Homo-oligomer: A and B are copies of this chain.
Amino acid sequence: MASKYVYSFGDGTAEGRAGLKDLLGGKGANLAEMARMGVPVPPGFTIISDACNHYLQNDKALPEGLREQVEEALAKLEQGSATKIGDSKNPLLVSVRSGARISMPGMMDSILNLGLNEDAVRALAKKTNNPRFAWDSFRRLIKMYSNVVLGVPDAALNTIENQLKREREVRLDSELPAEDLPILTQMLRDEVKKFSGKEFPLDPREQLWSAIEAVFSSWNNPRAIAYREMNEISHDLGTAVTIQTMVFGNMGEDCGTGVAFSRDPSTGEKALTGEFLVNAQGEDIVAGTATPRPVQEMQELMPRNYTELERIARNLEKHFKDIQDIEFTVQNGKLWILQTRAGKRAAQASIKVATDMTRERVMAATDAFLRITPQQLEQVLHPIIDPSAKREVVAAGLPASPGAASGKVVFNPDDLVESQAKDNGEYILVRSETSADDIRGINAAVGILTTRGGITSHAAVVARGMGKCCVVGASTIDIHEDKDEFVVGNRIVTEGDWITMDGTTGEVMIGRLPTVRPQLSNEFQELMLWSDLVKQMGVMTNADTAADSKVARQFGAEGIGLCRTEHMFFQQDRIDHFRKAILAQEKDERLEALAQLLPFQKSDFLDIFQVMEGLPVTVRLLDPPLHEFLPLPHDEEGLIALAKRLNLPYRRVRERVHALEQFNPMLGHRGCRLGITFPEIYEMQVRAILEAAYELMRNGVTVLPEIMLPFISMEEEVALLRELVFATAEQVRSEMNFPESSFRFGIMIELPRAALIGDRLAPYVDFFSFGTNDLTQSTYGFSRDDIGTFLPAYVDRGILKKDPFATIDRSAVGELMRTCVERGKRTNSDLKIGVCGEHGGDPESVKFFHQVGVDYVSCSPYRVPVARFAASQAAILAKREAGNGSPETRSKILPPTPGTSIPS
């Protein structure tokens, strides 16, 4: 017996259902599901995608049994509607549409009005008492069919139509006199013959089969292939084909067509939203030949149909557990639903819909979570240009890093660093392109604007990493660096002038526009609360100041996962003390300089611990190479000035600076290596941390300090520095007469070697924290600062599809992480695993971290909500993959909490 290739639907029943998307495609499966639900869909049947695959793989031979099954389904259609295909009295008209498992909108072909020939047209004209409609339908069929099946270009047939319209001196098709339409169809058929050498077939069965085969073949048309490549969709899926009875919205005033969302896609408001047109076909809306009305007006014009539509929309929403985007047609007073699918929506709406639907028990919270993309959440968090401000857009580039920024234009990065240091003002770096030399300038700017380069150019990559607003490739801007100005159109912008950029759209505006942080809606807050109940990973933040810590805490950070101590040294009143410590020749001299720094470090920690009361604060001991704190070796002036300021011999300063220079600082004398060579620095830092902590604890503040060593590559490093840390801690404890040492101790895993010897490192520590930036660097062998030089070529040539600094490389970096976690837990079952670094705020990466068994991620304050949310999604997905039952039962495993209850 032949396989079942054809699934019928209609009249409250269907052979298929929503779960069979793989076979029936999204469209066919939803039509079947709707039919089962009793939603009025025009009856029809779907040929499954297997048939398409068979056809494409067997030299365009139809699979055995398909012809018979289609005939049978067609007979059923005819029977149900008392019509017959090609009948001269009651002709059956059908549409033939593609529909793949994964939606590829507009990529494949469809044909409407199949079944028409001259006899059928006349019958239709008579039956509807509308000859214009009937002939116009025929005209549309000829054009679509000839284009799709016979390959006649649209342009050729449009020329014919335009000629006639010119002759008749009219502009629109609809202005042609009805009696011209039979003539026009004949003219079109003649042109088709001329072009393709083939007659337009008048046999409806020939029309039907040619159409089916054409849809099969359209799976492999060039634009469909390109779309699949772009979207990483497999080429093996094939398309289903749905043949459905035609309904018409253009048969009179009791007809119409429209599109409706079950809720407002912009705001999420629970109200039918959309457009409709009386006496029109769907394509008329698209073509813009008439202005559609708001769907609400149907309440007056077609009240019965509106009520039905509203009821159906509600049911569909409940059934498919999501906002619905519904196409409908009213034919002679009867409502038909042509299609329904999940509605695309704005970020704010997405959040409101998810929370509303959860509360309305349309769906479980867990399902609601999965409907929102973390990117949507992020949109809600970025600063935007005040919507009420008037924008004068003078240029547009590529939106390289989201958010909005206003600042004064500076062309030279060094000047920018200097100005910013002076007045702490807001500056935008404007350059043709940036290079590694410009990092300090980029760091000091509020935004970066380049005239060259793509979204993987140096500026773009670096800015995204820093979370800075950035627009690249704004090529209409012409920089005249020698004159300290840029020209765009007829405007000249001089250094120091204000501009504003929108990194989400790529727009560049003259002047200083106010930027605002969007208000976070109640729904957002609620979503976050639920999110925390679901997620299993902790979400901490990277923060080096009390101010950042405060922001992060407001965003729900559960602690500080990475507090970098070196930034504390860079401040004006401290840096020279630290330089003195670096330049010291004797230990005593160094100790003295460090003693000056101690109160500063301690007061920083006092502030941060206070803000983070009750939450852990993970302090990373000094990491960057020491030369970063000193002038460049060939900056003679800087060296002389420094020597003078510190009252040191110039020669010594110069020698030390030269000695500290490194070829590859990223791979050099940095991280815990500093703790080995200059133990006094780490001792001072440990002292500052614990003195601050114990002082507060004595005053009743709960402080949870954690001390973390960076850049470990050997077991021996951990062993030695652990001793140093614990010895210093014990000293502080006894000096302060504190009952017992109270802190946790951990290391960063940033190097492949550390990852591979996790089992040997774990016994020494309470936690590992993956520094995924550096781990990516060393695993790939490329540094973030230098990739700008070759990355654009890599993206152009398709070598690198994703930026591994944005989304974790699961294959190698991921394997190292997985290995490290497994080995670490093998020798220390209490080991906690964290991730600090940009990946901690990337939803894709967060999902992977969950799978690997990471206990917490840490990211910049503004990404905390996204990370919390991504963590909850990761937890839900992991449970589903583990096969933990249906969505309904799944929501029950959420922990019940007194404060917040999750509707399920």
Q: Which residues of B contact A488 (CB under 8 A)?
A: none
* A side interface size, CB within 8 A: 58
Is A832 in the interface zone, CB < 8 Å from B? no
Q: Which residues of B contact A658 (CB under 8 A)?
A: 435, 437
State whether B669 touches A667 (Cβ < 8 A): no
* Min CB–CB distance A167 → chain B (angstroms): 53
Which stretch (A157-165, A726-734, A785-793) binds chain B?
A: A785-793
Q: Which residues of B contact A663 (CB under 8 A)?
A: 436, 439, 665-666, 783, 785-786
* Min CB–CB distance A727 → chain B (angstroms): 14
Q: Chain B residue with minimal CB distance to A666? A: B664
Complex Cα distance, B810 from A706, in Å, reads 32
Which stretch (A67-75, A499-507, A585-593, A746-754) binds chain B?
A: A746-754
State whether A753 touches B676 (Cβ < 8 A): no
* Min CB–CB distance A717 → chain B (angstroms): 6
Q: Chain B residue with minimal CB distance to A815? A: B756
* Min CB–CB distance A815 → chain B (angstroms): 6
Complex Cα distance, B676 from A798, in Å, reads 11
Complex Cα distance, B775 from A779, in Å, reads 10
Contact with B along A784-810 (1 / 0, CB 8 A): 011101100110011110000000010
Q: Which residues of B contact A711 (CB under 8 A)?
A: 781
Contact with B along A436-461 (1 / 0, CB 8 A): 11010000000000000000000000
Is A673 in the interface zone, CB < 8 Å from B? yes
Contact with B along A654-678 (1 / 0, CB 8 A): 0000111111111111000100110
State whether B720 touches A752 (Cβ < 8 A): no
Is A813 in the interface zone, CB < 8 Å from B? yes
Chain B CB within 10 Å, residue with most, of A439, A779, A781, A798: A781
Is A171 in the interface zone, CB < 8 Å from B? no
Q: Chain B residue with minimal CB distance to A669? A: B789
State whether B714 touches A786 (Cβ < 8 A): no
Is A290 in the interface zone, CB < 8 Å from B? no
Complex Cα distance, B793 from A751, in Å, reads 20
Is A812 in the interface zone, CB < 8 Å from B? yes
Q: Which residues of B contact A793 (CB under 8 A)?
A: 676-677
* Min CB–CB distance A612 → chain B (angstroms): 30
State whether B753 touches A781 (Cβ < 8 A): yes
Complex Cα distance, B777 from A811, in Å, reads 21
A751 interface neighbour in B659, B781, B785, B797, Cβ under 8 Å? B781
Copies of this chain, whole number = 2
State whether A662 touches B716 (Cβ < 8 A): no
Q: Which residues of B contact A815 (CB under 8 A)?
A: 756
Q: Which residues of B contact A664 (CB under 8 A)?
A: 664-667, 783, 785-786
Is A780 in the interface zone, CB < 8 Å from B? yes
State whether B756 touches A799 (Cβ < 8 A): no
Q: Which residues of B contact A676 (CB under 8 A)?
A: 790, 793-794, 797, 799
State whether B774 touches A751 (Cβ < 8 A): no
State whether A782 touches B713 (Cβ < 8 A): yes
Q: Given A662-B436, A720-B797, A781-B778, A757 and B668 touching (CB < 8 A)? A: no
Q: Which residues of B contact A787 (CB under 8 A)?
A: 668
Is A634 in the interface zone, CB < 8 Å from B? yes
A789 interface neighbour in B660, B714, B752, B799, Cβ under 8 Å? B660
Q: Given A663-B786, A665-B663, A780 and B797 touching (CB < 8 A)? A: no
Is A410 in the interface zone, CB < 8 Å from B? no
Q: Which residues of B contact A474 (CB under 8 A)?
A: none
State whether A777 touches B661 (Cβ < 8 A): no
Complex Cα distance, B717 from A781, in Å, reads 14
Q: Which residues of B contact A662 (CB under 8 A)?
A: 436, 785-786, 789
Complex Cα distance, B671 from A207, in Å, reads 58
A714 interface neighbour in B720, B774, B799, Cβ under 8 Å? B799
Q: Which residues of B contact A23 (CB under 8 A)?
A: none
Q: Which residues of B contact A354 (CB under 8 A)?
A: none
* Min CB–CB distance A152 → chain B (angstroms): 38
Complex Cα distance, B811 from A716, in Å, reads 14
Chain B CB within 10 Å, residue with most, of A660, A664, A665, A673: A664
Q: Chain B residue with minimal CB distance to A673? A: B790
Complex Cα distance, B812 from A760, in Å, reads 11
Is A617 in the interface zone, CB < 8 Å from B? no
Is A816 in the interface zone, CB < 8 Å from B? yes
Q: Chain B residue with minimal CB distance to A677? A: B793
Complex Cα distance, B763 from A551, in Å, reads 51
State whether B781 touches A774 (Cβ < 8 A): yes
Q: Which residues of B contact A720 (CB under 8 A)?
A: 797, 799
Q: Chain B residue with minimal CB distance to A716? A: B799
Task: Show 24 A/B contacts (Cβ-Cβ < 8 Å), sorted by A.
Answer: A435-B658, A435-B659, A436-B661, A436-B663, A660-B789, A666-B667, A667-B777, A667-B778, A668-B782, A668-B790, A676-B790, A676-B797, A677-B789, A711-B781, A713-B779, A713-B781, A714-B800, A716-B800, A720-B799, A751-B779, A752-B779, A753-B779, A756-B811, A778-B778
